[in-house]
Amino acid sequence: MCILFIFVDTNPKKGSYRLIIASNRDEYYRRPADIARFFPNDNIIAGRDMEKGREGGTWLGVSLRKCEKFKFRFGALLNVTGEDRKQNAKGRGNIVMDFIKHELTGAEYVNKLYSDDTHNAFNFVAVELREDSASTFHLSNSPPNIAEFQGSKILGFGNSPLNSPLTKVKNGTTRFSEIISKCNSVSQGEQLKDELISLLKSEERHLPDPELQKRAPNAYEELSSVFVEIQNSYGTRTHSIVLVTDEWKVEFVEETIEEPYNPEAPVWNKQTIKSNL
């Protein structure tokens, strides 16, 4: 399970944010991964999956490469829970990495990916910022669907189809919106990050949730919170925050559990990467 919240403002006030993103990555604790880093050759920021056979993929990343088509973009991948798995499916982590490394527009990329039926079920979300406009794309292969959101938006995504959001996504998006209303000022940046981390660490269970119960009947209660922890084997292991100011200053904040995972006393490490576009 993963969860993703996005705020986009195409006409931000002076000293405020044009993009605010908060996300949790939920995964098996034993699955190896590298922390978020800046890769100068590709001009991207991303963590990396280090699972054998899946090395180099990512669940979330940003591109700092400017071109005529866009100034900044973001990509994230979320699994769709409860769907049948394919034999010999390709790793999904390359979906995000291919997007942020190359210069196809969001529209071009999702339309190209739409015809690829070699992956297990996923939701791919992309944000593309330009000087005075923005596009947010959602692509799923389960069921196959492309959605495009233009301009300023507050959106939430999870591990179910777009038209059947989990209760924690709906309630989390409401809380995310409240945080944005209170803290959408660069001068409040530290408070904003603290509030977002608090949201991402919330263990409140959002029940009942018929959609989640249908998709994960054996673990829906544990999966109903924004922050997930199941029997010291699976759970939330990375928090990511991405901020872009009105002046195009980028801040990428990651808090992630140190490997190897210690179930009795997990250690969270934090790194911050900043850039000016």
Rounded to an integer, the average pLDDT of 257-276 is 95
User: What is 88-122 written as a DSSP string?
Assistant: TPBPTHHHHHHHHHS---HHHHHHHHHT---B-SE
- Beta strand pairing status for 153-157 and 144-150? unpaired
Q: If you ran DSSP here, which 8-state letter would residue 58 be given?
A: -
| Domain residue limits, the chain | 2-163+233-276
Rounded to an integer, the average pLDDT of 148-152 is 98
Question: What is the per-residue pLDDT for 66?
Answer: 83
pLDDT tens, position by position, 189-206: 999 999 999 999 999 999
Average pLDDT value over all residues in the chain? 97
pLDDT tens, position by position, 153-166: 999 999 999 999 99
Q: What angle do CA 88, 91, 94 make, to 5 degrees?
A: 150
Closest CA to 93 of 65, 63, 120: 120
Asked whether the predicted pLDDT for residue 4 surpasses 90, the reply is yes
Closest CA to 199 of 172, 159, 161: 172
**What is the number of H-type helices and E-type strands within the chain?**
6, 14
Asked whether the predicted pLDDT for residue 62 surpasses 90, the reply is yes
pLDDT tens, position by position, 65-100: 988 899 999 999 999 999 999 988 999 999 999 999
CATH topology of domain 2-163+233-276: Penicillin V Acylase; Chain A (3.60.60)
pLDDT tens, position by position, 222-253: 999 999 999 889 999 999 999 999 999 999 99
pLDDT tens, position by position, 34-45: 999 999 999 999
pLDDT tens, position by position, 102-127: 999 999 999 999 999 999 999 999 99
Question: What is the per-residue pLDDT for 87?
Answer: 86
Asked whether the predicted pLDDT for residue 177 surpasses 90, the reply is yes
